[in-house]
């Protein structure tokens, strides 16, 4: 038996399908028995559940042969470290395996941890299957692409990069192995929202992005008909009414967007996607209308900066004018745009922050429905170079215990990287601006603030927004704190973020 573990990454109310572990399990040979233990589900004691599985299988013909953990940077890593350590201490004879984004970006700290026996780097489905052959004595680990481990002399073996494949070459998601209904959670999209991923990788070259570091400038996209087949099953069998796509780049071109719209329309779902600004601008008005009728409700775009110079430095290959045009096109067709911005240019942080805040105001005037997502720049390993002239990656922790400290969790989640060019004063300027904007224009995601708090926030923020003054909005901060139904969680980021899910 194989145990696949999803360490806690968020509050149970924000849980999502454990897609990465479902993909690994689906790829295993039919003879392999496997189960998922998800630390994000309510009332799940992960260590206790694993122990119960191990003990119940100990005297059978199929005992637990490996315990594998998927690990993302940030809060999941902070939970995965003590969990793996405890499991290894209790069952030293059972191999422990790490996979996921963190180990793919930072393999050396994982391999220094004595409680992790194997690391699967990059796309893991086939690598994990071949690792089982290694554990069975049928294969040389040094011959397995993507497999990393400590050698007998203490040095580290990093397996060759594996040729990765697209979703169409992989088995369908094994929904029968999870409690689907338990994962369908209310969001602004609907009462029973699910998640799905229809592609792998991204063909663009944004040089602050960890996706590019793992996969390079490549993308494999699933046929829209297959996507619709899987989502239709979830809608019919479980009443799923909306979906959040995890794809890093959902649309390729106008023709593909039209095909997606035609496949999605009969399903009656509302959906959220991530897309490139320049790709959206290539859509015809007819395609925009089709997408709207098919349920496209919100589109997330990486705007990142209001400066063409900084956008060139980031290798974004878009312009500020294009971002403004995308805001106008989404307004025209009634689709909510969500724009992310990266604050903290290493070379000119103060100038870039002032420029970008002014640009966001302009963007908001073009499309008042526009939603803002802010990140503070955090370097990630790059295949060729880093963003800006300063490279702080040499100072990152050498051990998993170092990475699991609050300081580095904040660094990984882009909440508070504590980098030399981002002073507290500059960080506060961004945070105060964001508070005023989101008080004046409450987010559609915000299900965690009471109605009176939203009304008071709008009223209190109006003068500051009108005058362009954001300094120390103490009263707004107090209102937001008192009006919260659930506490704000700064560690919700990426696809786990949300404005106070219940």
Question: What does 419-473 look like in DSSP terms, one character per residue?
Answer: -TTS-HHHHHHHHHHHHHHHHHS--TT--SB-HHHHHHHHHHHHHHHHHT--S--
Between CA 379 and CA 246, with CA 18 as vertex, the angle to 5 degrees is: 55
Q: If you average pLDDT over every residue of the chain, what do you get? A: 91
Per-residue pLDDT at 502 exceeds 90: no
Split at pLDDT 50, 70, 90, the class of 499 is: very low
Of 70, 53, 22, 298, residue with least CA distance to 183: 22
Tokens representing 89 are 């201490």
How many Cα atoms are found within 13 Å in the side-chain-facing hemisphere of 63?
Answer: 10
pLDDT of residue 452: 95
Least confident of 198-202, 395-399, 485-489: 485-489
pLDDT at 386: 45
pLDDT in tens, 306-357: 999 999 988 899 999 999 999 999 999 999 999 999 998 888 899 999 999 9
**73, 378 Cβ separation under 8 angstroms:** no
Q: For residue 46, what are the CA distances in angstroms to 9, 73, 102, 131?
A: 13, 19, 20, 24
Exposed/middle/buried for residue 138 (C-beta within 10 Å: 0-12, 13-18, 19+): exposed
Q: Is 205 helix (H, G, I), strand (E, B) or coil?
A: coil
Cα distance from N-terminal residue to C-terminal residue, the chain: 35
Q: Which two tokens stand for residue 492?
A: 């919700």
Span of 136-150, 352-366, 386-400, 403-417 with lowest mean pLDDT: 386-400
Whole-number pLDDT of residue 71: 97
Distances 463 to 431, 459, 460 between C-alpha atoms, Å: 18, 8, 7
In this prediction, residue 210 carries a pLDDT of 65
403, pLDDT greater than 70: yes
> CA-to-CA distance for 244 and 163, rounded, in angstroms?
27
Q: For residue range 195-238, list pLDDT tens digits in order.
A: 999 998 887 767 677 676 677 667 889 999 999 999 999 999 99
Task: Please give the helix or strand (H or E) that residue 150 lies within, else none.
Answer: strand 147-150
pLDDT band at 384, cuts 50/70/90?
A: low
Mean pLDDT of 140-167: 95
Over 60: is that where the pLDDT of 390 sits? no
Q: Measured on CA atoms in the order 429, 397, 72, 146, is the torsion positive or negative?
A: positive
- Give the rounded percent of residues in the chain with a pLDDT score beyond 70: 92
| pLDDT exceeds 80 at position 494 | no
Instruction: Look up residue 364 and give its two tokens.
Output: 């908001």
State percent of the chain over pLDDT 90.
Answer: 78
Q: Which domains, and CATH codes, for the chain?
A: 2-158 (3.40.50.2300), 184-378+414-422 (3.20.20.70), 433-502 (no CATH)
Length of the chain in residues, anyone? 502
Q: What is the average pLDDT across 249-253?
A: 93
In the predicted structure, residue 392 carries a pLDDT above the cut 80: no
pLDDT at 490 over 70: no
How confident is the model at residue 147, as a pLDDT? Answer: 98
Cβ pair 432, 484 in contact under 8 A:
no
β-pair type (270-274, 199-202):
unpaired
Q: What is the pLDDT of residue 225?
A: 97
Is the confidence at residue 188, as pLDDT, over 70? yes
Q: Is the pLDDT of residue 491 over 70?
A: no
- Alpha-carbon span 85 to 205, nearest angstrom: 37
Q: What is the mean pLDDT of residues 66-80?
A: 96
Q: Give kind and range of the element (H or E) at residue 273.
A: strand 270-274
Average pLDDT over residues 74-94: 97
In this model, does residue 112 exceed pLDDT 90? yes
* Whether pLDDT at 388 is above 50: no
Cα 362 to chain centroid, rounded? 28
CA separation, residue 74 to residues 24, 25, 489, 491 (Å): 22, 24, 13, 7
Overall average pLDDT of the 79-93 stretch: 98
Neighbours of 70 (CB within 10 A): 27
Give the Cα-Cα-Cα angle 486, 409, 212 (nearest 5 degrees): 110
Distance between CA atoms of residues 141 and 148, nearest Å:
8
């Amino acid at each position: 038996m194989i145990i696949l573990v999803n360490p806690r990454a968020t509050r149970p109310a924000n849980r999502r399908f454990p897609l990465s572990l479902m993909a690994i399990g689906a790829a295993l040979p039919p003879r392999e028995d496997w189960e998922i233990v998800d630390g994000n589900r309510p009332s799940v004691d992960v260590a206790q559940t694993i122990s119960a599985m191990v003990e119940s299988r100990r005297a059978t013909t199929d005992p637990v042969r490996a315990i594998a953990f998927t690990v993302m940077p940030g809060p999941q890593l902070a939970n995965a470290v003590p969990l793996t350590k405890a499991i290894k201490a209790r069952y030293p004879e059972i191999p422990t395996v790490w996979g996921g984004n963190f180990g793919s970006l930072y393999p050396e700290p994982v391999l220094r941890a004595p409680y992790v026996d194997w690391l699967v780097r990059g796309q893991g489905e086939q690598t994990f299957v071949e690792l089982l052959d290694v554990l069975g004595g049928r294969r040389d680990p040094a011959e397995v692409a993507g497999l990393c481990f400590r050698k007998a002399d203490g040095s580290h073996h990093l397996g060759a990069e594996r040729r990765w494949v697209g979703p169409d070459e992989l088995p369908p998601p094994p929904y029968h192995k999870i409690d689907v209904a338990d994962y369908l959670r209310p969001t602004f999209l609907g009462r029973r929202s699910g998640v799905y991923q229809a592609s792998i990788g991204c063909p663009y070259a944004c040089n602050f992005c960890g996706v590019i570091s793992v996969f390079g400038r490549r993308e494999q996209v699933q046929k829209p008909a297959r996507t619709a087949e899987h989502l239709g099953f979830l809608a019919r069998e479980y009443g799923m009414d909306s979906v959040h796509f995890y794809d890093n780049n959902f649309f390729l071109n106008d023709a593909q967007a039209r095909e997606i719209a035609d496949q999605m329309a009969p399903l009656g779902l509302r959906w959220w996607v991530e897309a490139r600004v320049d790709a959206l601008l290539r859509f015809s008005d007819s395609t925009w209308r089709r997408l709207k009728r098919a349920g496209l409700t919100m589109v997330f775009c990486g705007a990142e900066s209001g400066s063409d110079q900084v956008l060139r430095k980031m290798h974004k290959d878009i312009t500020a004018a294009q971002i403004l045009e995308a805001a106008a096109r989404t307004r025209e067709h009634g689709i909510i745009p969500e724009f992310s911005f990266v604050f903290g240019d290493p070379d000119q942080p103060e100038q870039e922050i002032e420029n970008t805040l002014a640009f966001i105001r302009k963007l908001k005037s073009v499309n008042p429905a526009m939603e803002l997502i802010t990140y503070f720049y955090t370097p990630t390993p790059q295949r060729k170079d880093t963003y800006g002239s300063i490279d702080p990656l040499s100072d990152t922790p050498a051990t998993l215990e170092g990475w699991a400290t609050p300081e580095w969790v904040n660094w990984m989640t882009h909440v508070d990287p504590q980098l030399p060019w981002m002073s507290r004063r500059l960080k506060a300027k961004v945070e105060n601006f964001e508070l005023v904007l989101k008080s004046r224009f409450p987010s559609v995601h915000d299900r965690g603030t009471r109605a009176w708090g939203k009304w008071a926030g709008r009223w209190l923020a109006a003068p500051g927004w009108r005058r362009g003054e954001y300094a120390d909005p103490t009263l707004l901060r107090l209102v937001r704190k008192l009006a919260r139904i659930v506490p704000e969680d700064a560690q919700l980021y990426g696809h786990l973020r949300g404005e106070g899910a219940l």
